[in-house]
A and B are shown apart, each in its own frame.
Chain A
Amino acid sequence: MKSFRGGSALEAALAGAMLAWVCQAQPVAAPSEPLMVRKDAGPYTIENSWELGYRFRTAGGNIGKYRSDVNFGNGVRLLASRLAIHSRDGKARYFDELVATTQGLGNDPYQSATVRLRKNRLYEYNLLWRWNAYFNPALTISEGLHRMDTTRRWQDHDLTLWPDSKFQALLGYSRNRQEGPALSTVDFFGAFGDEFSVFQNVRRERNEHRAGGEVDLRWFRFRLIRAWENFKDDTFTGLPAPQGGRNPDDALTLETFRRGEPYHGNSPGWRGALFLERERWLSVSAAGTYTGSERTFIVDESAAGAGPAGPFDFQTLVYGVGRRPVATGNATLSVFPSQRLSIANHTAYYNVRTEGDSLFQQFSNRTFEFEQFQFQSLGIRTVVNATDVNYSALAWLGVYGGYHYSTRRIRSREFLSSGGFEELVAAEQENTVHSGLLGVRIQPAAGLTVNLEGEIGRADRPFLPVSEKNYHLLGGRVQYKRGSLLLSGATRIHYNTNSVSLSSHSSRSRNYTLDFSWAPSGWLALDAGYGKMHWDSLTGIAYFASRRFVTGERSLYVSNVHALNLGMQTILSARLRLYLGYSRVEDTGDGRRTAAEPPLGSPPASESPLFRAVQTFPMTFESPLARLTVQLRPDLMWNLGYQYYGYRERFTSLQGYRAHTGYVSVVWSF
């Protein structure tokens, strides 16, 4: 192996890439690293790098699952590109900075582009565009029957006028669109009825316009933005063919079904922020928002079929409106009595009231007409106050702590009117949390840092059985850094117990990680990491089984995830670079070999046999990869990449798959 000590531009570029790689092990084989060759052109310097290639894949097993997890396909791609133009004196005529990047253009499932265009003191424009092929299979394990093969497109435009001045005008526009086919289900004829698979043509779109300004006065800065968000969902649902439904015990057949449910609305809002700082001893920031949302809807549904009592048809019409005004505000006061001490107090307020009314009308050849009016309201008001103190006692020792208090009031109203019957249920409750945080930072030797922290909290009336009530967190991190060597270990433990009479929930999570990266020489860089994540929860449950009310059982969920990632990059010669990587994530569950076995360890006597088979889910997901790079010229690079994906479940083979993916590409800087 040739030592890398040459002085050529090519070798220097390789060395730079190696040093950069130490911190940038890539978990996905493509795209490759860009070429960073800077050239002068008139008043500008230009960096330009294009990676064009062909991506290929072969996959076996459950292709739907592969598409959900990975989804790379075959074809020619502009895997990545990067163009950066900067003026050399910062005073060019039309623009001083143009940076454009792309990734995956051509048909990769994850495509993106960014543009930044700037003329100093006059304007700055930023664009972020993304396109994702979004696939969710109808997974049997999750009991999810809904399949999606849709695409999502996002774009964010932001324009700042006079970006370096005391007054800035801010304009923005964002769009988010989801469209494509999906499969869903409809439920019919009450809880004893049947479920039918239906086809959906998903069409959802969100647009947001923003306009505002920012003014910087002597001691404070103020920002005010007006935003208008518009959302519309015009998804259409239909029945592809007559169906007998999923319930084998009934004779219902659905012959026709269609549902149109336009759902449109606006959310105009204000966002304001204020910042004030007296240098070296005080800063104050405050922000507030008000958003008024309103969305109107109509559900127009018709269905016809046959049942044991003969043919039936339904026509259903539901219409109404949902509203949600949201007001939020927060203020932070930070004081710095000395350079080593800072005290920050943060107060936040949140008030939301979600309410909606809905008139339900159904006509059928059996029940003739049924009408029901419902109204619901859910109000949440939360007040939070947190004080944090950060003190660097010595150059090698720092302590910090905090006390956090929050109170939340929930008000609820539910009104139902149907056939002369009226019911109003109103309720109010309040929950208060007190928590404390204490941490210490130690630097016992050069390059070695130790962080330890703990938090403990108590709530008096959590909203859900799984919410935090009596909880504590412990965290620790040790890091040693010397030259290119980085060693770190971290742990984080989160325990929560939520006990009340007749029901209890407790959860424990423990994470441990070890990380290592090192570039011992100019031609070798190593990266390795191991993590163990443990979760378990024990929850009291109650349900009906075969008309028997089951109570006193507990649901035990156990997950033990072991994750390993390895990477090695080596320079085989002045022109040849090789990267090898391996990633493996394995959930060993609770250690048992089959789903039917009782949980290992200390199973509670009342653990539910109903839950036993699905409460642990051992599986393995692994992905070795390799990439060979040949530097043909300082401005030309050839890459060959390969990545394998293997997914395996221990209790079933329904969703397992293996996929060989790869690409060949040329990176060119011109």
Chain B
Amino acid sequence: MWLFRRGFLLAGLLCAGSFAQPPPKQYIGSKICGACHRALWAGFTANPHFRSVASGAEAPERTGCEGCHGPGREHIRGAGDKSKIRVFPELEPQQVLAACLKCHAKDFPRSQIRRSSHTLAGVACTSCHSIHSSPETQFLLAGAQREVCYGCHPSVRTQFAMPFKHRVNEGSVKCTDCHNPHGAAAPTWRMGQRPAMTATRLGNEEPCLKCHPDKRGPFAFAHPPVRVEGCEVCHAPHGSMNPRLLRRPAVFTLCLECHTGMGNFGRQGDGIRRTSLTHNLADPRYRNCTACHVRIHGSNADRRFLR
């Protein structure tokens, strides 16, 4: 209890630090904006940004309409002169980003936003978020999450329309289950190249392992590609024409592309072990690799993943 009270006291002291700034004269408060922008103001109470108004404790430059659009006094004096206020559709992407990051920069999921491929490609916050009229219940998205993403990634729409896919169109899986659209740190698999905005999970692992923890291990005998190159070396995570989201229609063709025994590949650097003499590939029975190597992601009982 003592600690709890101290925590409250500490939190109160920390909060107090940001209240000290007096409101500059050019800020006039959000309620006046509602006189002209009635429809926007009427729905604003359901908007997360309304919290800054409700709290009554935020600095004027971080409160309500003026928190994003800047001080409104000159805009009103100019009888609604657009040039006297920040109008987002007329801003460059980096200006939009700077305006939003004024409050949201410290949110950890956005810590990589400056170097994210969205920012580099000129995708601004308002490309995906509709601040005033979002039809969604979360994150002020401009539309259903998948449709917002498909808008710029039509090839991904195609992948989710394939017969084998994660159920994004069905509403069961969301893009943000696996991706952080605000940017990601270097992935811990492959060579750390092209983060693809992947949202990592515990231990900065691939997001696949959140829903497929049985593939996570640790196993006594791990199939090295799973950790070294990641799941997508064998699977197409969005969707595939092939069962199990595999990159090839038949399993053995996928396996044999690596198990050639040639070059300096593999954990020993002397080629990845090829199929043995006992594996007569002329016999269709031996083309069912995972019929025997059932624990292909990793095994505890057999180093060849047989059980």
Contact = CB atoms under 8 A, between A and B. Distances in A.
Interface in A311-341: 318, 320-324, 326, 328, 330, 332, 334, 339-340
Given A84-B137, A467-B229, A332 B111 contact: yes
A623 to B, nearest CB: 8
Contacts of A439: 120-121
A176 B211 contact: yes
B21 interface: no
Interface stretch (A1-9, A52-60, A216-224, A633-641): A216-224
B202 A143 contact: no
B191 A617 contact: no
Given A186-B307, A195-B292, A295-B218, A110 B280 contact: no
Interface in B147-201: 147-148, 151-152, 154-155, 157-158, 160-164, 167, 169-172, 185-186, 188, 190-194
A464 interface: yes
Contacts of A320: 220, 300
Nearest to A87: B45
A197 B261 CA distance: 30
Given A332-B115, A464-B272, A542-B260, A511 B185 contact: no
A545 B280 contact: yes
Contacts of A417: none
Interface in A260-286: 261, 263, 265, 267, 269, 271, 273, 275, 277, 279-280, 283, 285
Contacts of A537: 257
Nearest to A301: B307
A500 interface: yes
B227 A356 contact: no
A326 B203 contact: yes
Given A84-B137, A186-B307, A322 B54 contact: no
A539 B267 CA distance: 20
Chain B interface size range: 35 or more
A354 B155 contact: no
Interface in A209-231: 215-218, 221, 223, 227, 229, 231
B257 to A, nearest CB: 4
| Chain A facing B: main interface SS | strand
Contact of A358 (B17, B160, B241, B301): B301
Contacts of B276: 191, 544
B279 A543 contact: yes
A537 B256 CA distance: 13
B35 interface: no
Contact of A263 (B154, B172, B266, B300): B300
A166 B15 contact: yes
B265 A457 contact: no
A96 interface: yes
Interface in B258-286: 258, 260-269, 271-272, 274-282, 285
Contact of B191 (A427, A431, A563): A431
A238 interface: no
Contact of A141 (B137, B221, B249): B249
Given A132-B172, A547-B277, A513 B142 contact: no
Interface stretch (A375-383, A572-580, A598-606, A662-670): A375-383
Interface in A497-556: 500-503, 505, 511, 513-515, 529, 531, 533, 537, 539-547, 549-550, 555
Contacts of B26: none
A592 interface: no
Contact of B250 (A84, A467, A614): A614
Contacts of B264: 429, 461, 500
B120 A390 contact: yes
| Chain B facing A: main interface SS | loop
A533 to B, nearest CB: 6
B151 A502 contact: no
A378 B267 contact: yes
B139 to A, nearest CB: 11
B301 A293 contact: no
B98 A141 contact: no
B303 interface: yes
Contacts of A541: 256-257, 260
A370 interface: no
B10 interface: yes
A178 B46 contact: no
Interface in A381-437: 382, 384, 386, 388, 390, 392, 395, 398, 400, 402, 404, 406, 408, 410, 412, 414, 425, 427, 429, 431, 433, 435
A441 B143 contact: no
A358 B53 contact: no
Contacts of B260: 465, 503, 539-542
B224 A45 contact: no
Contacts of A86: 45-46
A555 B144 CA distance: 42
Interface in A224-261: 227, 229, 231, 233, 246-247, 259, 261
A369 interface: no
Nearest to B95: A339
Given A545-B280, A610-B282, A99 B138 contact: yes
A427 B268 contact: yes
Contacts of B211: 152, 154, 176
A355 B221 CA distance: 8
Most B CB contacts (10 A, CB to CB) among A96, A187, A279, A453 go to A187
B78 interface: no
B247 to A, nearest CB: 8
23 contacts: A114-B138, A142-B249, A145-B290, A186-B294, A231-B213, A273-B108, A322-B300, A330-B186, A348-B188, A360-B302, A374-B221, A382-B192, A390-B94, A390-B114, A439-B121, A500-B262, A529-B154, A540-B262, A543-B256, A547-B277, A561-B162, A614-B253, A615-B248
Given A216-B106, A283-B105, 17 more contacts: A332-B114, A354-B217, A354-B222, A356-B222, A380-B227, A384-B186, A384-B191, A406-B191, A464-B225, A464-B265, A465-B258, A477-B152, A531-B154, A539-B260, A565-B161, A617-B242, A619-B163
